[in-house]
Amino acid sequence: MNYAPTSSIPEAATHFAQLQNDEWGHLYPAATVDRSQFDLLNNRYDEWDITTLRLAWFACNEEGEPLGVAMLVGDGEVEPRDERDLEGPWFAGLVVDPAFRRQGVGAALLDFVTEQARLLGFQRLRLVTEHKTKFYEQRGWTIERIVTLNSVPNTVMFITLKS
């Protein structure tokens, strides 16, 4: 599997932005396909301001076809009242094209983005999930607490990154 910044394959951004919105739009009512597409195409990070962190990568097959996407973001994953206690960075936006699910793409993206966070010097990474706690626990993540997103219970998990 190869990894490419999402901005390097702009023609795939609309498809994956739609998949992200289909998967999590019910949790983030202000989210739109256009906003997801913008984030996928405009990777950015000012190391002095973690809230600017928006980096995204495609996992691609040998032919360069994007199979899935995942992001490393600085904020916006939990509601403001929880954000005070739960600082980023966050593993976010993981979605695999339905044609390529259950083939290890999601786990590979999780490993890749986690490594990118470590290389950027972060010591802890968080994520929020509605249903997939077992998937993440099997990969070393720990449950931190339950939060509510748009009245839906979700689990915040973390992993400590080794330097």
- Structural domains of the chain, count: 1
The reported pTM is: 0.91
Q: What is the pLDDT of residue 58?
A: 97
**Structural domain that includes position 58:** 2-160
Per-position pLDDT tens, the chain of length 163? 999 999 999 999 999 999 999 988 888 888 899 999 999 999 999 888 888 899 999 999 999 999 999 999 998 888 877 888 888 899 999 999 999 999 999 999 999 999 999 999 999 999 999 988 999 999 999 999 999 888 889 899 999 998 6
Q: What is the pLDDT of residue 163?
A: 67
Query: Per-residue b/e over 89-108, b at no fewer than 16 CB within 10 Å?
Result: bbbbbbbbbeebeeeebbbb
Domain harbouring 145, CATH code: 3.40.630.30
Residue 6 is given by DSSP the state G
Q: What is the pLDDT of residue 85?
A: 85
Q: What is the pLDDT of residue 27?
A: 85
- List of residues 6+ apart from 122 with CB closer than 8 A: 89, 161
DSSP string for 58-124: EEE-TT--EEEEEEEESS-SS-HHHHTTS-S-EEEEEEE-GGGTTSSHHHHHHHHHHHHHHHTT-SE
Q: What is the pLDDT of residue 38?
A: 92
